[in-house]
Chain A
Amino acid sequence: MKRIEDQTYYELLEISPDATPKEIQQAYDRAKETFQLDSLAIYSLFPQEEVTKIQAAIEEAYRVLKDEELRRSYDQSCPHLFKHLSRAQQIHPPSEKLHEMKQGLSFTDISLEIKDIPYRGTSLKQLREQLGIDLKTIAAKTKINPRILESIENEELDRLPAPVYLKGFLKAYARVLNIDPQRLIEGYFQLFQERKKK
């Protein structure tokens, strides 16, 4: 257990040192909500001066981490952060906490997020199957031809429609699964680039 003052900015926001800007933003929003003075989740737990201290620490962590430049120099000032990370991950891959966060997000009705897995066709299929939805349902909801959906999932790039249509299809599919459409599109188009290189 560490005192607030002794925690790294990453520990304060409960994120990993390689968190993306989006993850930082989400973590900050949640931490801010959690440690508001009138927050239910901390009711009767902390003395008020402790809450004020935590709030200030969270703000400072966010101020530094959201700024690329500041974050870089912060990271450089504590190199043990990353050494620690890689060593810890070698021992218990993946850390229990991250694992649970993913699990947490899979709660019914909460938007699902495939965090570390790249957003690809195969992961779409995996996620769809996990949710127990068949392709027909997706086709009915998105009004996309099931054959195209299949090609999307199987990453049969040469069978896919022009990018402008593909984008629309991916967006529709992502909405049904309740995942971030933008990330899916980005991930999918990266696939094209990778294949090209080969």
Chain B
Amino acid sequence: MGGHSQRVIWTIGGGKGGSGKSFITTNIGVCLSKMGTRVILIDADLGGANLHTFLGILPPVPTLSDFIKKRVTQLHDLLIQTNIPNLKLLTGAQDLLNAADAKNVQKRKLLRSIKDLESDYILVDLGGGNALNVLDFFLMSDGGILVVTPEPTAIENTYRFLKSAFYRRLKQTVSSYSAKTLIDQTMDPKNEAGIQTPYDLFQEVKRINEEDGRRMMEEASKFHPNLILNQVRSKKDIEIGFSMRSACHQYFGIHLHYLGYIVFDQEVSNSIRKRKPLMVENDKSKAAQCLKEIAFRLAHSGSLDSFN
């Protein structure tokens, strides 16, 4: 992804349900479209796709599964214009993510079709959970965004997601069977090899296959997930994002990019009840200000590295 590149795909995922992924996806989408760029939102939430509700529109009839099952040939025909200029919606990606047997080729093909859509930004709401398909989508996109609230449960799930994504990424990089097996073992905390941390894994892989060890290190240094902290209530909460960045640096040796935070704001739930995006309903509210800042960062993130 170059600095000027068009059609940037961001995926929003990780963590647990209720951390605000759909809310954030919708409102960042509205922000970006208000800046005059074309945006497509894609709903791929397995747990319950409801981006349409956040936008106050009816659940769309033709969905992505019609495209996958070849009932519709052009992905473009599935796009629904929302009430907001420049903002379109595509739903039903959950069907693909749900299909346990979705092949890598198929996923890449879908990703390519999505990338070919006429738009400047594409935001994919992956929902919670860390199914392999979800991880792959997260890893294949130009930038993956994790949403976390300052609670131990949410943070635990986020790290679980991050570990799964990290090891999956590494596993796809190495070529030797022994290295792949070792990575699988590492994901079990009580593994026989006694591998506790990514660092142990690097050392062990390097020992059995120097080339794979080198590749893994290189891949890890290119892995730059993004973080949004939602529902913060104090300055101390805000600091958690920086601390998580340090923790990831020490643990994985990766750079977690802290994109920003959103303050806890009653206006958020008011807007959801009205089925209107906060950015439309009350764009002067505190949470809306935070969202604007994050959208601004995303729009000027030419320097943010991609996974690919």
| Residue ranges of A at the interface with B (Cβ–Cβ < 8 Å) | 1-4, 14, 30-31, 33-35, 39-47, 50, 54, 96-97, 100, 103-104, 107-110
Given contacts A41-B244, A44-B155, could you give 20 more A-B pairs where the C-beta distance is less than 8 Å? Answer: A1-B202, A1-B221, A1-B252, A1-B253, A2-B253, A3-B199, A33-B243, A34-B246, A40-B150, A40-B151, A41-B243, A41-B246, A43-B156, A45-B247, A50-B196, A97-B255, A107-B238, A107-B260, A108-B289, A108-B290
Quick one: which of B239-265 are within 8 Å of A by CB?
239-240, 242-244, 246-247, 249-253, 255, 257-258, 260-261, 263
Q: Are B243 and A39 in contact (CB under 8 A)?
A: yes
**A-B complex: 3 closest residue pairs judged by Cβ atoms:** A1-B253, A41-B243, A34-B243
Q: Are B155 and A14 in contact (CB under 8 A)?
A: no
| Residue ranges of B at the interface with A (Cβ–Cβ < 8 Å) | 150-152, 155-156, 159-160, 196-199, 202, 217, 220-221, 235, 238-240, 242-244, 246-247, 249-253, 255, 257-258, 260-261, 263, 289-290, 293, 297, 303
Q: Are A44 and B159 in contact (CB under 8 A)?
A: yes
Taking CB atoms, residues of chain A closer than 8 Å to B239 are 30, 33
Known contacts A30-B242, A107-B260, A108-B290; decide if A47 and B196 are in contact (CB<8 Å). Answer: yes
Taking CB atoms, residues of chain B closer than 8 Å to A2 are 253
Bound together, the chains give a CA A14 to CA B255 distance in angstroms of: 12
Most buried by A among B198, B252, B258: B258
Residue of A nearest to B220 (CB): A1
Q: Give 13 pairs: A residue, B residue, CB < 8 Å, sorted on A.
A: A1-B202, A30-B239, A30-B243, A31-B246, A34-B243, A34-B246, A41-B246, A43-B159, A44-B155, A96-B303, A100-B258, A104-B258, A109-B235
Q: Are B250 and A54 in contact (CB under 8 A)?
A: yes
Bound together, the chains give a CA A64 to CA B202 distance in angstroms of: 30
Q: Are A100 and B257 in contact (CB under 8 A)?
A: yes
Known contacts A45-B159, A45-B247, A54-B250; decide if A104 and B202 are in contact (CB<8 Å). Answer: no
Bound together, the chains give a CA A24 to CA B60 distance in angstroms of: 55
Distance from B146 Cβ to chain A, minimum over Cβ atoms (Å): 13
Bound together, the chains give a CA A40 to CA B247 distance in angstroms of: 10
Question: Which among A30, A31, A45 is the interface contact of B251 at CB below 8 angstroms?
Answer: A45
Most buried by A among B246, B263, B303: B246
Taking CB atoms, residues of chain B closer than 8 Å to A54 are 250
Q: Are B152 and A46 in contact (CB under 8 A)?
A: no
Q: Are A108 and B198 in contact (CB under 8 A)?
A: no
Taking CB atoms, residues of chain A closer than 8 Å to B159 are 43-45
Q: Are B247 and A34 in contact (CB under 8 A)?
A: yes
